[in-house]
C-alpha cells in the first residue's frame, strides 16, 4: 500500500559516462545534472514499485531540481527519496542527492501511476501515425 513516508535510496559512482562533458550538459568532467535527475527518478520509482498493483508502474511527469555542488570523477553520489504526498494516482517525492562532502542537489518530483501495458500500446501506436 502506498503511503507517505516511503523511502528510496540509490547510489552511483561518478564516471566518464555520467559526467557533464560526456552527457553534453557542460564542458567539465564532473557529475552531470541530467545524471543526477535520472538517479533521483530511479530512487523515487524504486521506492514504490513493490507497493503497486500488478501491471501498474509509475512514470515521471515533472521535476523541480537544484544542482548546488559539483562532484568529481570517482566519488560516490547517494540519493534518498521520500514519498511526501499521495493523491490518487499522483505521487510527490522530496529527494536529496549527496556526496561525501554534503548535499549536491535537491528536488521535488511528481510521478503518476499508470497501467504499463496501456501506456506501451499508446506509445507504440505513435509509430503508425
DSSP single-letter state for residue 60: E
- The Cα 64–Cα 15 span in angstroms is 24
- Which active-site residues does the annotation give? 33, 41, 67
* Grid cell in block for residue 57: 508502474
- The Cα 25–Cα 40 span in angstroms is 17
**The residue to which cell 501498474 is assigned:** 56
Would you say 81 and 94 are in contact if contact means Cβ atoms under 8 Å apart?
yes
Amino acid at each position: 500500500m502506498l503511503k507517505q513516508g516511503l523511502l528510496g535510496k540509490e547510489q552511483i559512482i561518478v564516471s566518464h559516462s555520467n559526467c557533464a562533458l560526456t552527457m553534453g550538459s557542460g564542458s567539465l568532467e564532473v557529475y552531470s545534472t541530467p545524471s543526477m535527475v535520472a538517479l533521483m527518478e530511479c530512487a523515487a520509482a524504486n521506492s514504490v514499485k513493490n507497493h503497486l498493483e500488478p501491471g501498474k508502474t509509475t512514470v515521471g511527469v515533472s521535476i523541480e531540481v537544484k544542482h548546488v555542488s559539483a562532484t568529481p570523477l570517482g566519488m560516490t553520489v547517494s540519493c534518498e527519496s521520500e514519498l511526501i504526498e499521495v493523491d490518487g494516482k499522483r505521487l510527490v517525492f522530496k529527494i536529496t542527492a549527496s556526496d561525501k562532502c554534503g548535499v549536491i542537489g535537491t528536488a521535488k518530483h511528481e510521478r503518476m501511476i499508470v497501467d504499463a501495458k496501456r501506456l506501451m500500446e499508446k506509445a507504440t501506436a505513435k509509430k503508425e501515425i
